[in-house]
Amino acid sequence: MYAIVEIAGKQFKVQEGLKLYVPKMTAEPGDAVSFDQVLLVSGEAGVQVGTPTVAGASVSAEVVNHVRADKVIVFKKKRRKGYRVKNGHRQPYTQIAIQAVTV
């Protein structure tokens, strides 16, 4: 059984036991979170597509930890002007573990 769920404006395909990285959440590691914006559920009974969400469906998960992605280098330059700027950016993410998909 799997589901397509919307988390922080992005869509993720989830199923029980899956660990994934989502945009940073305010929950602390070890907290339980629930997502009710389920767009599609596929199981033994077939596929249920929401309009826009599936009524009564939810996904429960546990926050594992907060991490940051690899550094992305941002380099700006204007030729013949002596202008060079080098910056780095690390996007914050939250790792969650999917506990259950309920319909």
Q: Transcribe the chain into DSSP letters.
A: -EEEEEETTEEEEE-TT-EEEEE--SPPTT-EEEE--EEEEEETTEEEE-SSS-TT-EEEEEEEEEEEPPPEEEEEEETTTTEEEEEEE--EEEEEEEEEEE-
Strands 58-68 and 92-102: antiparallel
Q: What is the mean pLDDT of residues 39-53?
A: 90
- Model pTM? 0.83
Residue 21 has pLDDT above 90, yes or no: yes
Question: What is the arithmetic mean of pLDDT over 12-27?
Answer: 95
Across 7-22, average pLDDT: 95
Q: Percentage of the chain surpassing pLDDT 90? A: 90
Instruction: Give 43's pLDDT tier (boundaries 50, 70, 90).
Output: confident
Q: What is the residue-averaged pLDDT of the chain?
A: 95
How many angstroms separate the CA atoms of 34 and 24, rounded?
15
Give residue-wise pLDDT tens across range 68-90. Answer: 999 999 999 999 999 999 999 99
